[in-house]
Amino acid sequence: MAGTKNHSRSAIEACGCSFLPETKPAGLDAFASVSSGLKITGLKVFGVSPNPKSDRPYVFVKLETNQGLVGWGEGTLEGKAGAVMACINDFHDFLIGADPMQVEHIWESMYVHSFYRAGPVIGSAISGIDQALWDIRGKALGMPVYKLLGGPFDARGVRGYYHVDGANRERLAEIRQTAQHQGITCVKGGIPGYYEWLERRPKIDRAIKSIQLLRETLGPDIDIAVDFHAKTSPSVASIIVKEVEPLNLLFVEEPCAPENVQAMAKIARRSTTPIATGERLIAAYGCRELIEMGIIDILQTDINHVGGITALWKVAAIANVSSISMAPHACEGPLGGLATLQVDAAMPNFLVQEICGQVKPRAVDKIWEEWLGFPAMRMVNGRFPLSEKPGLGFELSEASLAKYPFGGTRPMARVFHEDGSVAEW
């Protein structure tokens, strides 16, 4: 910078934009007087495949320090596991030797000094690292992260919902009975099939009837959300959300692609059904337009993609001052899920927490319990309990992950219309 003598890096004159290698994180010397004494000494990345066929093998991050404290985080990204693992390792020079208590400084450096603004790969890499930093921070201070953030906002715990996959009345009746027994007050379903930009009425009617069946079978006392998964165009979504208004849905999720802000606004203007979106958005900046334009009612950013605890907390704060609720997405592994609960517990505008689990535990729930020693991301009386343990509230060993070695990146589903054109799924 002009007029500055104390450069942290020296430009190579032949290029003017490349820099000589650093032996410690750039800018570290400026914080010597406020250092906590903690230093990051190790960075490890683990690809873990409990289900080798899954499109989301878990990407876990472990940060080690000179005082024996370790932090864990998750950067699982559907269909891009190998890319995220490589990107996390690319941040090695940002971390080794840094003070892990300076979470905000490290986050800004990773985001800004990547130069090209973060998409899902960089966002997920930052997310995993950031969660691990907060885990260390909480352990160093002897407090759970939600207390560091000023929580809990609700001492009863974090309200959540499971997914329902029942396509028939009998299966949904079983789910209702189990939900009532477990104190579950909210579930989420989807709509069947894939939709053209302008769709025939029989297919639209099928989607409407599937939503009506949810309400008829589950009854009036269970909140119901419906995920369109951006499978519908603004024209198709507008018809459906208008016709299901009498069902009093908690929200309709991603009625069109989230990057098409004007299309989302068109749908919102045509219905009183609350609109939710955001799981594919990165950093607070990626949510700004949706919030400023007042298009959505509920924001669903994912802690494993948006930029970790730091970014999710900022997004929630921006949404709060605009009277928008938060219902974070969490459909990857258990570490990100547990980290999300910490932020949820301190949000004044928190609504409900997603977990891509079922009312009845799955095989993977048993694996998570094997790793962590407790039933992770399972609700008690319709809420996720708050842990009093410091950091993110769990311990994890490398040995426990070795049983499920990384099976490689797997692509997400690829679906097509009858004419061979690409379909949203």
The CATH number that applies at residue 70 is 3.30.390.10
In a shared domain, residues 164 and 262: yes
For the chain, the farthest-separated pair of C-alpha atoms sits apart, in whole angstroms, at 74
Per-residue pLDDT of the chain (425 residues; tens, 9 = 90+): 444 444 445 545 555 555 555 667 867 788 888 888 999 999 999 999 999 889 999 999 999 999 999 999 999 999 999 999 999 999 999 999 999 999 999 999 999 999 888 889 999 999 999 999 999 999 999 999 999 999 999 999 999 999 997 668 888 888 888 888 889 999 999 999 988 888 888 999 999 999 999 999 999 999 999 999 999 999 999 999 999 999 999 999 999 988 889 999 999 998 899 999 999 988 888 888 899 888 999 999 999 999 999 999 999 999 999 999 999 999 999 999 999 999 999 999 999 999 888 888 899 999 999 999 999 999 999 999 999 999 999 999 999 999 999 999 988 889 898 899 998 88
- Residue 115: partners with Cβ closer than 8 Å, 6 or more residues away: none
Active site residues: 229, 329
Co-location of 243 and 154 in the same domain: yes
CB atoms under 10 Å from CB of 414, counted, come to 9
48, 189: one domain: no
On whether both 239 and 134 belong to a single domain, the answer is no
165 and 277 share one domain: yes
Which of 127, 145, 163 is the last residue in one of the domains?
Answer: 145
One domain for residues 169 and 196? yes
Name the domain count of the chain.
Answer: 2
203 and 290 part of one domain: yes
Say whether both 337 and 189 belong to one domain. Answer: yes
Q: Are residues 228 and 133 in the same domain?
A: no
Same domain, 300 and 182: yes
Domain's final residue, options 128, 145, 162:
145
Give residue 62's domain range: 28-145
With respect to residue 395, please indicate whether it lies within any of the assigned structural domains.
Answer: no
Is 132 found in the same domain as 156? no
Residue 122 lies in a domain: yes
With respect to residue 231, please indicate whether it lies within any of the assigned structural domains.
yes
